[in-house]
Amino acid sequence: MLEPVDELPINTGDDVVRVRQAVRARASAARLSLVDQTKLITAASELARNTLVHGGSGVARVETVQRDGRPGVKAVFTDDGPGIVDVEKALTDGYTTGSGLGLGLGGSRRLVDEFVLETAVGLGTTVSVIKWMR
Amino acid sequence: MRSSEQELLDRWVDVAATALQGRLTRSELERACGDLLAALTPALDAAGLNIRSEAYASARAMLAEMSRDRARRGFSPSETATEVFALKEALFAIADARGDSSETIVAVSRWVDALGLHTFEVFARAREQVITEQAEQLLELTTPVVKLWEGVVAVPLIGTLDSARTQVVMEKLLQTLVDTGSEHAIIDITGVPAVDTEVAQHLLKTVVAARLMGAECTISGIRPQIAQTIVALGIEFGDIPTKATLADALLYALRNSGVEVVRRRRTNAG
Amino acid sequence: MDRVPILSLGDVLLVSIQVDLQDESVVALQEDLAERIVDSGATGVVIDISAVEIVDSFIGRMFATIASLSKVLDAETVVVGMRPAVAITLVELGLSLQGVRTALDLERGLAALRQRRAERGIPLADESDEAVEAPAAARD
**3-state SS assignment for residue A62:** strand
CA angle B263, B266, B267 (to 5 degrees): 150
Under 8 Å between Cβ of A51 and A14: no
How far is it, in rounded angstroms, from Cα B42 to Cα C19? 50
Low-confidence winner among A47-51, B104-108, C32-36 (lowest mean pLDDT) = B104-108
* Residues B146-256, CATH architecture: 2-Layer Sandwich (3.30)
At A130, which helix (H) or strand (E)?
Answer: strand A124-132
Which residue in C48, C79, C82 has the most chain B C-beta atoms within 10 A of its own C-beta, making it the best mutation to test that interface? C82
Please name the member of A38, A94, A96 whose beta carbon is closest to the beta carbon of C89: A38
pLDDT of residue A95: 43
Question: In the predicted model, what is the mean pLDDT of residues A50-70?
Answer: 92
Q: Residue B234, CB half-sphere, CA atoms under 13 Å: how many? A: 0
In the predicted model, residues of chain B with pLDDT beneath 70 are 1-4, 22, 139-142, 268-270
Between A77 and B163, the higher pLDDT residue = A77
Residue of C20, C88, C94 with shortest CB distance to A106: C94
Question: What is the predicted pLDDT for the residue at A99?
Answer: 39
CA distance C98 to chain B (A): 10
Least trusted range by pLDDT, from A19-23, B96-100, B259-263, C23-27: B96-100
Go through the domains of chain C in sequence order and give each one's CATH number: 6-119 (3.30.750.24)
Task: Report the C-alpha gap between A14 and B84 in whole angstroms.
Answer: 52
The phi-psi region of residue A68 (left if phi > 0; otherwise alpha if psi is between -120 and 50; otherwise beta) is left
pLDDT at A87 > cutoff 90: no
**pTM (2 d.p.):** 0.72
Domain ranges of chain B: 5-138, 146-256
Q: What is the pLDDT of residues C76-114, one digit of tens each?
A: 999 999 999 999 999 999 888 888 999 999 999 999 999
Count residue pairs from B and C with Cβ separation < 8 A. Answer: 49
- Is A21 part of the contact surface with chain C (CB cutoff 8 Å)? yes
Question: How far does the CA of residue B212 sit from the closest CA of chain C (Å)?
Answer: 6
Whether residue A63 is predicted with pLDDT greater than 70 in this model: the reply is yes
User: Which residues of A fall within a CB distance of 8 Å from B68?
Assistant: 69
Q: Helix (H, G, I), strand (E, B), or coil: what is residue B146? A: strand
- pLDDT for B176 equals 93
Check if the interface score ipTM surpasses 0.90.
no
Instruction: Residue C19: list chain A partners with CB under 8 A.
Output: none
DSSP 8-state secondary structure symbol assigned to residue C65: H
Q: Which domain, by its residues, includes A105?
A: 5-132
For the stretch B123-168, pLDDT in tens is: 888 888 888 788 777 766 667 889 999 999 999 888 777 777 788 8
Mutate to test the interface with A, among C27, C49, C56 (most CBs of A within 10 A): C56
pLDDT of residue B84: 81
A102: left (phi over 0), alpha (psi -120 to 50) or beta: left
Instruction: Domain count for chain A, please give it.
Output: 1
Whats the size of chain C, residue-wise? 140
DSSP 3-state of B190? strand
Q: What's the pLDDT band for A96 if we cut at 50, 70, 90? A: very low
C-alpha triplet B218, B221, B226: angle, nearest 5°: 110
Give the helix ranges, DSSP H, for chain B: 5-20, 26-47, 57-72, 77-98, 102-142, 163-180, 197-213, 224-232, 246-256
Yes or no, beta carbons of C87 and B183 under 8 Å apart? no
The Cα B226–Cα B188 span in angstroms is 13
Residues 6+ apart with CB under 8 A from B83: B16, B20, B24, B29, B32, B33, B66, B70, B119
Q: When comparing pLDDT for C34 and A98, which is higher?
A: C34
Cβ–Cβ contacts within 10 Å for residue A45, how many?
23
Cβ contacts below 8 Å, chain A against chain C, sum to 84
Torsion, CA B43, CA B46, CA B49, CA B53, rounded to 10: -80
What is the distance in angstroms between the Cα of C89 and the nearest Cα belonging to chain B?
8
Question: Which residues in chain B are closer than 8 Å to C84, comparing Cβ atoms?
Answer: 171, 174-175, 177-178, 209, 213
Rounded to an integer, what distance in angstroms lies between the CA atom of residue C140 and that of residue C137?
A: 9
Query: Which residues, at least 6 apart from C120, have a Cβ–Cβ distance to it below 8 Å?
Result: none
Tell me, what's the pLDDT at B61? 84
Which of C 15-44 lie inside 8 A of A, CB atoms?
A: 20, 22-24
Going from the C-alpha of A88 to that of each of A81, A94, A105, C58, the distances in angstroms are 18, 12, 10, 23
For residue C61, the surrounding DSSP H or E stretch is: helix C57-72
Q: Which residues of A touch C53 (CB under 8 A)?
A: 38, 41
**What's the CATH code of the domain at A55?**
3.30.565.10
Domain B5-138 has CATH 3.30.1240: no
What is the rounded CA–CA span in Å between residue B180 and residue C5? 29
